Structures are given as structure tokens and as C-alpha cells.
Chain A
Amino acid sequence: MKLNKGEYLFKEGDFNNRLYVLQKGLLKAHRLEFGKTREVETYLPGSLIAEETLLEGKRLLYSVQASVDSELYALDSKNLQKVLAKEPKWFSSLIRFLFNRYDETIIVTEQYEFIRALPAVLYLLANLEEELVDIKQFSQKLYTLNGVSLENTQELLSLMESFGLIQIKESVILKKKTKLIAMLYEALLFRAIHKDISKHILSITEQLLLQLFVELCKKEGFCFNEYTALHLKSFAEKAKESSLGISIRINSISPLEQKQILFYESEQDVIYGDIDYILLLLELNSIYPQLDKIKKL
């Protein structure tokens, strides 16, 4: 087949199931990134084009255009099968294996890039001073920081929205919980650097105790040294009565005391804490485990 200068062999998003071999001329592959065309490959005579689509066919992630008048020949999967039919079985298996391994590596790499982009999203969201952030500018910054693609940025922002951390309004990101975003980032960073769990990440028991504390504070909490407090006795009784059936003694709250989340004042036998901080921690602990399960759709 012949292509005139400027003519497209195929365009980004087209379905293709052919392998092209460039016999004569020069072709260039490019794709759209942030509204700009980025050249990704140059094909010289002898080059293979779109070989990854030969076995099963797939949508192409790039466009290929002739830079000069060019000549190519195309092969489809029937050509491949015809050749392989004459070859030993192990050789056909090897070819199929190579295609599968390539496809699997693409999926694994895409997932990896997606997951690895998450800290950068959190970092920028936590540190941008504005409450309203233009999505286009944010995407550009994210690309600068970590080469995150527009597609991954949009998907990660939707994920942040599903966690209630931001709200996306047309072309703008409204930051709803900047402090929580910063804490999530810090928790991930702490784990990566120290190979340990951040003090903000709580055990199930600690979370249950704090949930109960919050629930009871709504009914019988009182102000104590600018904190919200409960009588330990009442807290212990309610904990036992509650569906949790926890027996609370003073040492039950000591892990939370060590983490400076809840405090005990022996003279007045009260436990107290910063209710806003506790609510933030509970929210952090409900989102944090979900971050490890995120997947590119």
C-alpha cells in the first residue's frame, strides 16, 4: 500500500488488527497529550508498525502519519496463522506467549502508573493554597510533577471525589477536606519512608472506641479544658451496653492516650479529646484502607 506525505495510516483510537512493515519512506507516530501533539516514534524502512494488534486486534493509542511519500505492506492474523501452521508447535506457543506477555505487561504497567500517581495527586491537592483549583492547571502541574497522564488524573480525581475529599464542578476542583487530604498523604509517605504504620492509622478497637466516644459526646459530652469530655464511668457503662460489648478500663484507652488522641484526667475521672481531630481521624481511617485497593478501571 502507498501513503502520500501527510496521509494517516491510522488515527489514535482506531481499531486495528494488522501489522505494517514499512518498505520505503518515513512515518511518525504521535499522540495527543494535554491538547498538544507529542511525537512518540519514528519509523524508518524495515520498521514494524502496530505489531501489538496483530494477534487479536485492539484500539490504537497513537496516530501514524507519513512524513514523506511511503510504501508499506500489511499482514493480518491470517498471514501469521498460515506461517505458524507450518512451524513446530512450540514455536507457535512462543509467539502467542510473547503477545500475551506484552499485553499483560501493558496492563501491569498501567496499573502501576495509576497507583503510583496517587501520592502526587494528594501532595498537590494538600499543598495548593487555593480552595478552587482549575482542573486543566492541576492536570498540567501533575504532569510536571510526575508525568501523570490526563486520563489517570481524571480517574484519580473522580476517586478523590468518591471519597468526599473534593468536589468536581465543571472545570474546577473544589477542595472540601484539605486537612484530611494532607493527613492521607502523610500516612502514605510515612509508610513508604519508615516502612511502618503512621500513628494516625488506628486499630479496629481504637476506631470502635473513638466511634463510641463521638456517639456519646453527642448526647452527654461536656466541655473540659477546651476539649470535649465524658465521664469514664459513663463511657464504660455505655460501651458495655452498646452492640460492641466492650469492657472499658483505663488501660483500654492507653494506646489512644499514647497517640495523644484521648486523654484521661484521674481527679475528675474524665476522658477527653479534640472532637474535630477525632472525627478527622475516623474519616482518615475509613478511607486509608481503600487506597490500597484502588485500581485503574
Chain B
Amino acid sequence: MKKRIPPVQKCVQAGFVVYSPETPIKQLLIVEEGCLGAFQCESRSHKAVFELRKGDMIGVASLLEKEAIPWKIIALEESKYCVVNEESMESQLSFVPVWLVALIKSLSMRTRELKSLKKKTPAPHLLHSLTLYLFHQKQEALELDRVLKEFSFLTRATATVTLQALRYLENKGFLKLKKQSESQSTHIVFPEPLITAVLLDFWDAKQSKNQFFPFQLSDTELSCLESFLKSPVDFPMESAGYLQWLQDLTPSISVKEWIHFQSLGLFFQKEDGTFQADFYKIEKALLAIRHAPSLRKIIL
């Protein structure tokens, strides 16, 4: 026959050390009478943290989550308390329905998970988050130390994790971690200033499950855009004029490609009906193509 092991009841005088973190024991303490004090101990100083009175308990995490009580517990007056140790808890759990045992474990686990969230970055994808942050820095060189601190301030990402992400981007050739000289601090350098914008477009497309727009361009279209950047038109023109210009640069370009360029937003129609090139977008597209092998290998 199963036997219930009851908690141990104790009665102590003021000043009695009920629990010391130096000798951790997995136990739950429930105050029945009097008052116990929890103290944070550093060398010889005792800093009062809180008081426990009738009905209060301490050590739930110690007993259920194997997290030792971090405070020294001292009786502040004559007190009565009961101690539930592992043995008595186990015997008690054997008397209750399984769903109640599962409920205890679940509440305990969920609380622990919530507490651990504080230490984690809430950013759903660190590389995407880091790219967005870097994109808004709008500088060609950034001091690494400051970036690590600021990004941690914004997202709670640890310096180690951020550095790993930066090294990953460095390995892919998107940026460089550079020291100008031994005495100088490390800087993040972007050899191509538009790269963070390209990366951001790439992540956004991946996240929304759309095809990254530069990857929708054919070889002919790409060669046409390259030629166009070498001989650009920086004033608005009629559709026919633009098409003629592009055909002069790349004879195989047809109305189909011209419409495709418009649908990708590389050329856009103004209110007066004329067309203009979006040079920023064209440059981003061509830069993305130069980095296509690295981009294609990145998994979000």
C-alpha cells in the first residue's frame, strides 16, 4: 500500500538559518507562523530581499524546476514552517490524478519558458533583423563595438550571436570586418553601400514567399540594364522613346521586356504619362545579380 510522506514541520527561534545557498537542498518551505526573511548574501553583507509570512512559500522552482533558492533564509522571529522535500512531494503526487501531475509540470514549465524569454531576442530572424538595423545606419563604415552594443540594446541579441551573424555576412562577401591598424578598433565596412538594401529586399521577398525581383530578370534584360546604366537617360520620356533607347543599347529587347521592366518597378510611369528610370532599383538589381551565388545559398 502506498504511503504518504508528510512534510516536516519545524519550529525555530529568531536568527535561525533556515536555508543557506551554500548548501543547496531541493525543498519547498511554507510558513505557518512567524516571519522568515530572504537575504542576498555577498561576503559579509546581508541585503534583505523580501519577507515570508503565514501562508507564503518559497522553493517551488527549487523543488519542481531544479533551480536552487538563491537567498539565505533566516527566521526573523520565532517561526513555524513546513518543509516539503523531494521525497514527500513524490509521495504526494502518487496520490493525485495523472492530469493534476501533468498540470503541475505544465504550469511550471510554461512559467520557466516565459522567464527565459527575457534573455532571448524577440527578433524572429536575427539576420533579417540585423540587416534592417545595418540598412538604417546609412554609413559605409561602422564601429563594430558600437554596433554590437546598439543592436543588443535594440533586440537583446548577445554580442556573440551578432558577431556570428556578421561573420556569416562577411563570409558571403557582403561586408568586411576590418581593422585599419592595430591601435584602431574593428569596423564593419560595406564595399558596396547598396548591399544592405539588396539584402533587405532579399529577406523581405523570402519572408513574404515572393520571388526576389532581380532573379526574375533574364540575361538579355540584365545586359540591357547594364548598358542602360552606362548610357542612362535621366529625363522622362514617352514609352516609345524609352523602348527605342533600350533597343539601341540591346537590339534583342522587345515590348515584352519593356513591360516586364515596368512591372518590376525598374521604370515607372509619371502622372503626365511619361516614363522614368528608377536608378536606385536598377543598381540594386544589378548588385543582387553580382551577389546571386551567395544570396542563393542563404537560408532564411
Binary flags per residue of B124-162, CB closer than 8 Å to A gives 1, else 0: 110011001100101000000010011001111000000
List the A side residues contacting B7 at CB < 8 Å.
88, 90
A98-B96 CB under 8 A given contacts A113-B122, A146-B155, A147-B122? no
List the A side residues contacting B108 at CB < 8 Å.
98
20 contacts between A and B (CB under 8 A): A21-B102, A48-B106, A52-B107, A75-B99, A83-B100, A88-B7, A90-B82, A90-B84, A91-B96, A94-B28, A99-B107, A101-B60, A109-B118, A116-B122, A124-B136, A127-B136, A144-B125, A144-B203, A146-B155, A192-B149
Measured in the bound complex, the distance between the Cα atoms of B84 and A144 in whole Å is 46
B104, A98: Cβ atoms closer than 8 Å: yes
Which interface class (under 10, 10 to 19, 20 to 34, 35 or more) fits A? 35 or more
B111, A101: Cβ atoms closer than 8 Å: yes
For the residues of A in contact with B, the DSSP-based class is helix
B111, A141: Cβ atoms closer than 8 Å: no
In the complex, whether B168 has a CB less than 8 A from a CB of chain A is no
In the complex, whether B2 has a CB less than 8 A from a CB of chain A is no
A107: min CB distance to chain B, Å: 10
For the residues of B in contact with A, the DSSP-based class is helix
B111, A145: Cβ atoms closer than 8 Å: no
Give the residues from 74 to 103 in chain A that come closer than 8 angstroms, CB to CB, to chain B: 75, 80, 83, 87-88, 90-91, 93-95, 97-99, 101-102
In the complex, whether B92 has a CB less than 8 A from a CB of chain A is yes
A102, B154: Cβ atoms closer than 8 Å: no
In the complex, whether A120 has a CB less than 8 A from a CB of chain B is yes
Measured in the bound complex, the distance between the Cα atoms of B60 and A99 in whole Å is 12
Measured in the bound complex, the distance between the Cα atoms of B81 and A93 in whole Å is 14
B103, A145: Cβ atoms closer than 8 Å: no
List the A side residues contacting B122 at CB < 8 Å.
113, 116, 146-148
A144, B123: Cβ atoms closer than 8 Å: yes
The 4 closest A-B pairs by CB, nearest first: A147-B122, A127-B136, A98-B107, A192-B153
In the complex, whether B1 has a CB less than 8 A from a CB of chain A is no
**A-B contacts at CB below 8 angstroms, number:** 118
In the complex, whether A54 has a CB less than 8 A from a CB of chain B is yes
B142: min CB distance to chain A, Å: 14
Among residues of A, the one whose C-beta sits closest to the C-beta of B118 is A112
Give the residues from 25 to 51 in chain B that come closer than 8 angstroms, CB to CB, to chain A: 28, 30
Identify the B interface with A (CB < 8 A).
6-7, 28, 30, 55, 57, 60, 82, 84, 92, 95-97, 99-100, 102-104, 106-108, 110-111, 114-115, 117-118, 121-125, 128-129, 132-133, 136, 138, 146, 149-150, 153-156, 203, 207
In the complex, whether A221 has a CB less than 8 A from a CB of chain B is no
In the complex, whether A105 has a CB less than 8 A from a CB of chain B is yes
Contact of B55 among A93, A99, A192 (CB under 8 A): A93
In the complex, whether A204 has a CB less than 8 A from a CB of chain B is no
In the complex, whether A8 has a CB less than 8 A from a CB of chain B is no
B104, A116: Cβ atoms closer than 8 Å: no
Measured in the bound complex, the distance between the Cα atoms of B6 and A146 in whole Å is 48
A56: min CB distance to chain B, Å: 13
B10: min CB distance to chain A, Å: 13
List the A side residues contacting B97 at CB < 8 Å.
83
Give the residues from 121 to 158 in chain A that come closer than 8 angstroms, CB to CB, to chain B: 123-124, 127-128, 141, 143-148
